[in-house]
C-alpha cells in the first residue's frame, strides 16, 4: 500500500507538470484542445493525489510502523480519530493535505467556471497545476518530507512515538483542516487574476465569477483562527487565547488583505475604481498564505506549532514564494495601463473613502504583525542575536488601529456613495451618535475610577456600531413593509435573501463587535499564584472563595498525573467543583496542565494546577478573565453572518448570459 501511495503521487506530479505545459501552450496559441487537456489534468491530479492521501491514512490506521512518518506520529494507544489526524501532525502529511485540498478547489473551479471564464481557463489551469506540482515535488523528492519513506529493517519498532499530546484534542481534529481549507482556497482567485492579466481580459467578469471563491476560503480561514484560539484557551493552560505566536500570525496575516479585498472589491463593482489595488490584494493574500506555510515548515521561526526540516528545504520553499510573487506582480505592473479608470474619489465624506481608509488600516496592521513576526529573524541576521517581541508590542501598536476599524464599521453604512450631504449625515448619525454618547456614559458610570482608555473607547464604539446595524435593518424592513405590505418577518427574510452581501455582512460586523468587546475585557484580567493545603481557601475579589479539597491520581493508559478537586463557594452557597489536572504523557515524556474553567457571560474563572508539593499542598494559578466568553459568542455570530452571505441562491439565466457575454467581449 505505501508503494501505491508513493507512485500515485509521483504520477500526479508528472500529470501536473504536463498539464501545466498544455495550459501554457493553449493560452499562448489559443488552442482549445490544449486548454481542455490542462483542465482535465487538474481532475486527474486530484484523483492520483487522493489515492496517495488514502494510502497514508491507511498506513496510519493500520499501524504500519515500517514508515518513518507513521512511527513518528502514531502509536497503538491512540484512538482512530487521532490516528487519522496524524495525517496533518507532521511535515510530509500536512503538505500532502495542503495539496489535496488545493486540488479539490482547483477541480471545482475549472469545472464550474469553464464556460463563463473559458478564455482564462488555460492560464488559470496552468497556475493551479504548477502550484500543485511544487508541493508534490516536495513530498515525493525530498527524503525528510516524503511520508512514505521507509525505515531500515533494524529500526522498525512494535510501537510508534505518538502524536504530540497537545494535538490530541477534539478541536485539533478540525482546526488544521479549517486553516488549510482557508489557505489553499485563495489559489483560485490568484490563478484567475493572473490569467485575466496575462490575457488582458481585465473587466469585471473574472471578478464576479470568482467572488465566492474568495469568500469561501476567507470564511474557513476565519473559523480556523477562532477555533485555534479556543483550542489554545482550553488546552495550553496559560489562561489566554492569542499570544501573537509566529504561527498564529502566519494565519492572521493573509486574513488581513483578504478582508481588505472583500471590502474594496465593492468599490470596483459599484464605481469601477481600485482595479489595480484589488489585484494587489489578491496577489498579496495568496503570497502570504505561501509565506506563512514557509514560516511554519522551514524551521526559520520557533513556535510550539511549527515544523522543522532540512536547511535547504526552507530555501527552496522561499524561492518558490519569491518566484510566484515576481511572476504575478511583474504581469500586474505590465498591465497597469489597462487598469486605469476615469472614476476618482470625489469626497472624503463618502462610502468609497471609508472603504479606502479601511484598507489602509488593514495594511497598517499587516505591517505591524509582519514586522513583529520577522523581527527575531532580522535581528539575528543583522546583529547575530535573536531578539523576540512580546504580546505587549503587538497589543500596543494594533490596538488604536483596531479602534479605527471599529469606528469605520459603524460609519460605512451611514454615508452615501460619491458624496454625502451634511443634511443626510445629520439624519443618519443622530441615533448612532446618541448610542455612542450613552455607551461612553454607561462605561464611566459602571467602571468609575477603574475606567481606562481601551474599555471606554471600544465599548462606546461598540454601542455606535450596534446602533448603526439596528438602524439599517429597521429602516430597510420598514420600507419593505410600507411598499410591499409584507409582515415584519417576511420583510426581514426577503431582505436577507435579496441582498445577502449587505445584510449578512452586517451580522458579520456584529460578530466582530462582540469579539472586540471580549478582547477589551483583557484590560481587567487578574492572575494569582497560590499555594494551599487541603481545607484551606483562597478568597476572590468578587466575594467568592476556592477551597482546596484533595488531589487524586490519574492512572491512564498513556499518561499519568493528578487531578485536584477545588470547591467554589459564594458565601454559604456551593457553585461548582473545579478539577484542574496536571499530566505527564509517558511515551512523549511531555508534561501538560489541563485547566478547569467556570464560564459566565460576565467572566471566566480559570484554574491551573501548577504543581503538587511533597507536603500535600497544591500550587494553583488562578485567572479571572472578564468578558472572554463574548469572543466565542462573537465567533458564532460571525459564522452565522458569513453563512448568510454565502448561502447559495440561483442566478438568473440573464445574469449568467451577461457574465458570459462580458467575458467573450
Quote the DSSP letter at residue 398: H
Q: Residue 48: its pLDDT value, please?
A: 96
| 438-474: pLDDT as tens digits | 999 999 998 887 778 888 999 999 999 999 999 999 9
Cβ atoms of residues 307 and 91 within 8 Å: yes
Sign of dihedral through CA atoms 488, 489, 495, 500? positive
Quote the DSSP letter at residue 152: P
Q: Which three cell numbers stand for residue 289?
A: 498564505
Look at residue 412 and tell me if it is in a domain. no
Percent pLDDT > 70 in the chain is 94
Banded pLDDT at 299 (limits 50, 70, 90): low
How far, CA to CA in Å, does 5 sit from each of 107, 150, 337? 20, 13, 48
Q: Residue 302: its pLDDT value, please?
A: 56
Cβ atoms of residues 36 and 122 within 8 Å: no
Residue 25 has pLDDT above 90, yes or no: yes
- Listed residues 147, 173, 199: the one ending a domain: 173
- Listed residues 141, 173, 205: the one ending a domain: 173
Q: Which three cell numbers stand for residue 131?
A: 502550484
Q: Residue 172: its pLDDT value, please?
A: 80
Q: Residue 622: its pLDDT value, please?
A: 93
Residue 309 has pLDDT above 60, yes or no: no
| 528-556: pLDDT as tens digits | 999 999 989 998 887 889 999 988 888 77
Number of domains in the chain: 2
Look at residue 151 and tell me if it is in a domain. yes
Q: Residue 634: its pLDDT value, please?
A: 95
Q: Residue 652: its pLDDT value, please?
A: 43
Look at residue 395 and tell me if it is in a domain. no
Residue 661 has pLDDT above 60, yes or no: no
Average pLDDT in the chain: 88
Banded pLDDT at 277 (limits 50, 70, 90): very high
Nearest-angstrom CA–CA distance, 364 and 359 = 9
Of 559, 553, 545, the closest CA to residue 620 belongs to 545
Q: Residue 653: its pLDDT value, please?
A: 47
How many other CB atoms are found less than 10 A from the CB of residue 603? 20
| 318-347: pLDDT as tens digits | 899 999 999 999 999 999 988 888 888 878
Look at residue 103 and tell me if it is in a domain. yes
Q: Residue 313: its pLDDT value, please?
A: 67
Cβ atoms of residues 208 and 267 within 8 Å: no
Mean pLDDT of 581-602: 85
Choice among 130-134, 177-181, 582-586 with the minimum mean pLDDT = 582-586
Mean pLDDT of 222-226: 94
Mean pLDDT of 205-232: 91
Banded pLDDT at 650 (limits 50, 70, 90): low
Residue 487 has pLDDT above 50, yes or no: yes
Helix, coil or strand: residue 618: strand
Choice among 606-610, 613-617, 649-653 with the minimum mean pLDDT = 649-653
Choice among 90-104, 242-256, 503-517, 587-601 with the minimum mean pLDDT = 587-601
How far, CA to CA in Å, does 548 sit from each of 102, 532, 582? 51, 7, 15
Cβ atoms of residues 512 and 409 within 8 Å: yes
Look at residue 335 and tell me if it is in a domain. no
pTM of the full structure: 0.91
- Buried/exposed 214-236: b ≥16 CB within 10 Å, e otherwise: bbbbbbbbbbbbbbbbebbbbbb
Look at residue 164 and tell me if it is in a domain. yes
Residue 298 has pLDDT above 90, yes or no: no
Directed axis angle between helix 211-235 and helix 175-185, to 10°? Answer: 150
Q: Residue 465: its pLDDT value, please?
A: 96
Banded pLDDT at 657 (limits 50, 70, 90): low
Cβ atoms of residues 273 and 264 within 8 Å: no
Mean pLDDT of 395-408: 94
Q: Residue 208: its pLDDT value, please?
A: 84
Provide the residue range defining the domain that includes 167.
1-173
- Listed residues 149, 173, 197: the one ending a domain: 173
Look at residue 451 and tell me if it is in a domain. no
Mean pLDDT of 362-372: 95
Mean pLDDT of 139-159: 84
Q: What is the DSSP string of 626-652?
A: ETTHHHHHHHHHHHHHHHHHH---PPP
Q: What is the dihedral of CA 211, 213, 219, 220, to 10 degrees?
A: -170
User: Cβ contacts of residue 366 below 8 Å, gap of 6+?
Assistant: 253, 256, 257
Banded pLDDT at 595 (limits 50, 70, 90): very high
Look at residue 374 and tell me if it is in a domain. no
φ, ψ at 657 (rounded to 5°)? -65, -40
Q: What is the DSSP string of 2-58?
A: HHHHHHHHHHHHHHHHHHHHHHHHHHHHT-HHHHHHHHHHHHHHHHHHHHHHHHHHH
How many other CB atoms are found less than 10 A from the CB of residue 302? 13
Q: Residue 7: its pLDDT value, please?
A: 92
Burial of 154 (0-12, 13-18, 19+ CB in 10 A): exposed
Choice among 115-129, 157-171, 423-437 with the minimum mean pLDDT = 157-171
Amino acid at each position: 500500500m505505501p508503494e501505491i501511495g508513493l507512485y500515485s503521487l509521483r504520477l500526479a506530479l508528472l500529470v501536473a507538470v504536463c498539464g501545466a505545459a498544455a495550459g501554457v501552450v493553449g493560452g499562448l496559441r489559443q488552442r482549445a484542445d490544449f486548454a481542455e487537456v490542462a483542465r482535465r489534468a487538474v481532475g486527474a491530479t486530484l484523483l492520483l493525489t487522493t489515492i496517495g492521501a488514502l494510502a497514508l491514512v491507511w498506513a496510519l490506521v493500520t499501524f504500519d510502523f515500517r514508515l518513518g512518518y507513521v512511527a513518528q506520529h502514531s502509536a497503538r494507544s491512540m484512538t482512530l480519530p487521532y490516528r487519522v489526524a496524524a495525517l496533518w501532525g507532521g511535515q510530509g502529511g500536512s503538505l500532502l493535505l495542503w495539496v489535496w485540498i488545493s486540488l479539490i478547489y482547483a477541480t471545482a473551479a475549472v469545472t464550474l467556471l469553464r464556460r463563463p471564464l473559458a478564455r482564462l481557463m488555460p492560464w488559470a489551469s496552468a497556475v493551479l497545476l504548477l502550484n500543485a506540482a511544487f508541493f508534490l515535488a516536495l513530498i515525493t523528492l525530498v527524503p525528510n518530507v516524503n511520508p512514505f519513506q521507509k525505515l531500515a529493517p533494524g529500526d522498525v519498532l512494535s510501537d510508534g512515538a505518538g502524536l504530540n499530546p497537545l494535538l490530541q484534542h477534539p478541536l485539533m481534529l478540525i482546526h488544521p483542516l479549517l486553516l488549510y481549507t482557508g489557505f489553499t482556497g485563495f489559489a483560485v482567485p490568484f490563478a484567475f487574476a493572473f490569467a485575466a492579466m496575462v490575457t488582458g481580459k481585465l473587466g469585471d467578469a473574472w471578478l464576479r465569477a470568482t467572488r465566492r471563491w474568495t469568500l469561501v476560503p476567507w470564511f474557513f480561514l476565519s473559523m480556523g483562527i477562532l477555533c485555534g484560539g479556543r483550542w489554545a484557551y482550553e488546552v495550553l493552560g496559560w489562561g489566554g487565547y492569542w499570544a501573537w505566536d509566529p504561527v498564529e500570525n502566519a494565519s492572521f496575516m493573509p486574513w488581513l488583505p483578504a478582508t481588505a479585498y472583500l471590502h474594496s472589491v465593492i468599490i470596483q463593482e459599484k464605481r469601477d475604481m481600485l482595479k489595480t489595488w484589488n489585484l494587489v490584494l489578491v496577489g498579496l493574500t495568496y503570497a502570504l498564505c505561501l509565506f506563512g506555510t514557509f514560516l511554519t515548515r522551514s524551521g526559520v521561526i520557533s513556535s510550539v506549532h511549527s515544523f522543522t526540516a532540512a536547511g535547504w528545504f526552507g530555501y527552496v520553499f522561499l524561492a518558490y514564494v519569491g518566484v510566484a510573487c515576481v511572476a504575478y506582480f511583474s504581469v500586474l505592473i505590465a498591465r497597469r495601463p489597462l487598469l486605469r479608470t476615469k472614476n476618482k474619489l470625489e469626497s472624503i465624506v463618502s462610502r468609497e473613502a471609508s472603504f479606502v481608509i479601511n484598507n489602509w488600516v488593514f495594511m497598517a496592521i499587516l505591517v505591524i504583525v509582519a514586522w513583529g513576526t520577522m523581527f527575531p529573524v532580522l535581528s539575528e541576521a543583522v546583529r547575530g542575536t535573536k531578539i523576540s517581541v512580546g504580546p505587549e508590542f503587538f497589543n500596543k501598536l494594533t490596538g488604536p488601529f483596531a479602534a479605527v476599524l471599529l469606528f469605520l464599521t459603524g460609519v460605512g453604512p451611514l454615508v452615501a456613495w460619491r458624496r454625502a450631504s451634511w443634511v443626510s449625515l445629520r439624519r443618519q448619525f443622530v441615533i448612532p451618535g446618541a448610542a455612542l454618547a450613552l455607551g461612553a456614559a454607561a462605561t464611566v458610570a459602571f467602571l468609575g475610577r477603574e475606567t481606562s482608555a481601551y474599555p471606554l473607547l471600544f465599548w462606546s464604539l461598540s454601542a455606535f456600531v450596534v446602533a448603526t446595524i439596528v438602524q439599517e435593518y429597521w429602516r430597510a424592513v420598514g420600507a419593505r413593509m410600507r411598499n410591499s405590505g409584507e409582515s415584519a418577518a417576511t420583510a426581514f427574510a426577503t431582505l436577507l435573501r435579496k441582498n445577502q452581501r449587505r445584510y449578512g455582512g452586517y451580522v458579520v460586523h456584529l460578530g466582530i463587535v462582540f469579539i472586540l468587546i471580549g478582547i477589551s475585557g483583557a484590560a481587567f484580567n487578574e492572575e494569582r499564584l497560590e499555594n494551599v493545603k487541603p481545607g484551606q481557601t483562597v478568597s476572590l475579589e468578587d466575594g467568592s472563595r476556592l477551597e482546596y479539597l484533595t488531589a487524586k491520581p490519574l492512572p491512564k493508559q498513556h499518561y499519568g498525573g493528578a487531578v485536584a478537586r477545588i470547591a467554589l463557594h459564594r458565601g454559604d452557597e456551593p457553585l461548582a467543583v473545579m478539577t484542574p489536572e496536571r499530566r505527564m504523557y509517558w511515551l512523549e515524556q511531555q508534561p501538560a496542565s489541563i485547566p478547569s474553567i467556570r464560564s459566565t457571560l460576565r467572566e471566566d474563572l480559570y484554574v491551573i494546577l501548577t504543581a503538587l508539593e511533597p507536603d500535600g499542598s497544591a500550587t494553583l494559578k488562578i485567572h479571572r478573565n472578564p468578558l472572554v466568553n463574548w469572543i466565542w459568542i462573537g465567533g458564532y455570530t460571525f459564522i452565522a453572518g458569513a453563512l448568510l452571505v454565502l448561502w447559495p441562491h440561483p442566478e438568473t439565466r440573464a445574469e449568467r448570459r451577461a457574465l458570459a457575454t462580458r467575458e467573450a467581449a
